Amino acid sequence: MNARRPLVVVGDALLDEDVEGVATRLAPDAPAPVVDVTGDHRRPGGAALAAALATRGGREVVLVTALGDDPASDAVRRSLEGRVRLVELPLRGTLPVKTRVLASGRPLVRIDRGGGAPGRPDDAVRETLAAAQAVLVADYGRRTAGAVREQLAAIAPRVPLVWDPHPRGGAPVPGVRIVTPNAAETRSLEPGAGGESLRAYAERGSGLAERWRAAAVAVTLGERGVLLTRPGPDAGTPMLVPAPYRASGDPCGAGDCFAAATAAALADGALPEEAVQRGVAEAAAFVAAGGAGNPALWRTPPSAGRHAAPVTDPFAVAERVRARGGTVVATGGCFDLLHAGHVGLLESARRIGDCLIVCVNSDASVSRLKGPGRPLNPIADRTRVLAGLGSVDAVAVFDGDTPAELLTRLRPDVWVKGGDYSAEDLPEAEVLRAWGGQAVVLPYLDGRSTTQLAHRAARAAATSARHPTG
C-alpha cells in the first residue's frame, strides 16, 4: 500500500471560523439578536477541508492551492501540518475567511473577509499532478483551478479526475471522470430544465455532462441522495444513490466529503457507480458525526491502512444519542428470512426512541438455537438486509444464546421483543434493570414466521419438482 501514488486536491483554500454562543435577547437599538459568545473555532475550509477529509484511512494527500503571508494562510498551514503535503501557488492578497455566527448551534449570519488572486504555477505543480493516482478539483470560484487549467487538461485523459464545480468558476476540463455539482449549482449552471423532480435533475445533469464532455455528472440532492447521469440524449437511465440513513447534523462540508470520498474510491480502482456509492455513505456518516464542526475530526490523526467505506458502529450510535439526551432502543433476533412481521416490529420499535440498534444472532448461535440447516442466510447477508431498512440505525452481532453480554456493553434504555408473552419473562429484562433500562413487548403480526416461510418454500419446491413446466 505504501507504493500507492498520492491523491492530489487542487483548489481554493479558505479559513472557516465558527463563533458559537447563545441568544436570549434582542439588541436595544435594533431588532437583532445579541449573541453571548461561548466558543470560537477555526479550521481549514474549501479545498483544504476536502484534502483533510481525503486523508482518512491513511491515504497520502497533496494539496495544490494558493497561500500567502497573511495570518489566515498561516492558520491553514498549521492545521494541515502532519496530514497533508502542500504545493503552494503564490497568493496576491489575503486568504478568504468565512465566519459563521451560531446561536445554540443554528447559524445566524455569515461574514466573509479577505480574498486574493493566485499566481502562476511552477514545475512542482506540474510534477505533482503528473504523479497523481487521482485528482480532485475543489473549485470555490477563486481562480486556483483556472491557474492550473492547462496542467489539469494534460492529465485528464489518463488520470481519474473529479471536479467539484462552482457557478463563479470555470467549466471542468474535457475528459473529467465525474463532476459533482449540488442541486443549486446544477440549476444555476443548466437553468433550461424546470422543476425539482428527479427527471428535471437527470436532464440537467445529462446536459451538463454533454456540454463539459465529462464521463458522468453526479448531482448531489441532499437527503434524496446523489443522481449519477451520463452525457447525451441516449445516456440511459440515471442511477440514484440514496443516503444509507437519514443523517441529522451540521451539513457544512458534506459536499467536500462526498467529492473527496468519490475521488479516493476512483484512486482505489472503483467504477464511477461504486465511487459514488462510497461517497454517499461517507458523506452521510460525516454529517451524522457533526460535519466539519466536529472537534474529533481535527483531534484524530489519520489512521493507517487501506481506505474503506465507513461502517456504522452501534456503540458510537448509542453514545451519540445518549450524549444529546435521547433514548436508545434495541431489539434482537435471528432475522433469518426477513418478513412483514419483522418489518412491522422494527418500525414500531424505532418510534419508541431516537435510534434503533438490532442485535443479531451469529451463524453459530442460530444453528444452536434452530438446529441443522439454519441459518438459511449467512450473517453477512442478514446484517446487510437489516442495515438497509430505514427504521434501523445500526446492527450488532452476538455469538451467545442470548444477547446479555452485548446488551451490558451497549446499555440501551429500552429492549423490545415481539410476541404474546410477558416482558418480565424475557431473560433480557433482568439485564436491563442493572442500569435502569426497561424491557417491553410489542404486538407481532400473526401467521408470519421464518419457519412457516421455510416450510412453504419447501412445499412449493416439492410441488414444482413433481409438476415441472415444459
> What residues pair up with 164 in beta bridges, in sequence order?
138
Whether the Cβ atoms of residue 166 and residue 141 lie closer than 8 Å to each other = yes
Find out whether 332 and 359 touch, Cβ atoms under 8 Å.
yes
Strand, helix or coil at 404? helix
Angstrom distance (rounded) from CA 260 to CA 307: 12
In this structure, what C-alpha cell is assigned to residue 280?
454517499
Q: At what angle do helices 254-267 and 47-54 cross, to 10 degrees?
A: 50
> Among the options 18, 164, 250, 256, which is catalytic?
256
Identify whether the C-beta of residue 232 lies closer than 8 Å to the C-beta of residue 206.
Answer: yes
CA 403 vs CA 13, 199, 242, 284, 393: distances in Å: 49, 46, 32, 29, 18
**Rounded Cα–Cα distance for residues 391 and 416 (Å):** 14
Active site annotation includes 256 = yes
Q: How many CB atoms lie within 10 A of CB 245?
A: 21
Q: Residues in the chain, how many?
A: 470
CA–CA dist 357, 341 (Å, integer): 17
- Distance, CA of 456 to chain centre: 40
Mutual angle of helices 47-54 and 71-80, in 10-degree steps: 10
Exposed, middle or buried by CB within 10 Å (0-12, 13-18, 19+), for 290? middle
Find, among 147, 121, 118, 148, the residue nearest to 135 by Cα: 148
Q: How far is CA 209 from CA 44, 68, 109, 187, in A?
A: 30, 35, 35, 14
H-helix segments, 107-182: 123-130, 144-147, 149-155
DSSP 199-235: HHHHHHHHHHHHHHT-S-EEEE-GGG-EEEE-SSTT-
Q: How far apart are CA 245 and CA 310, in angstroms?
A: 13
Per-residue b/e over 339-371, b at no fewer than 16 CB within 10 Å?
bebbebbbebbbebbbbbbbbbbbbebbeeebe
For residue 336, report the phi and psi dihedrals to the nearest 5 degrees.
-70, -50
Q: What does the DSSP 8-state code read for residue 46?
A: E
Give catalytic residue positions. Answer: 256
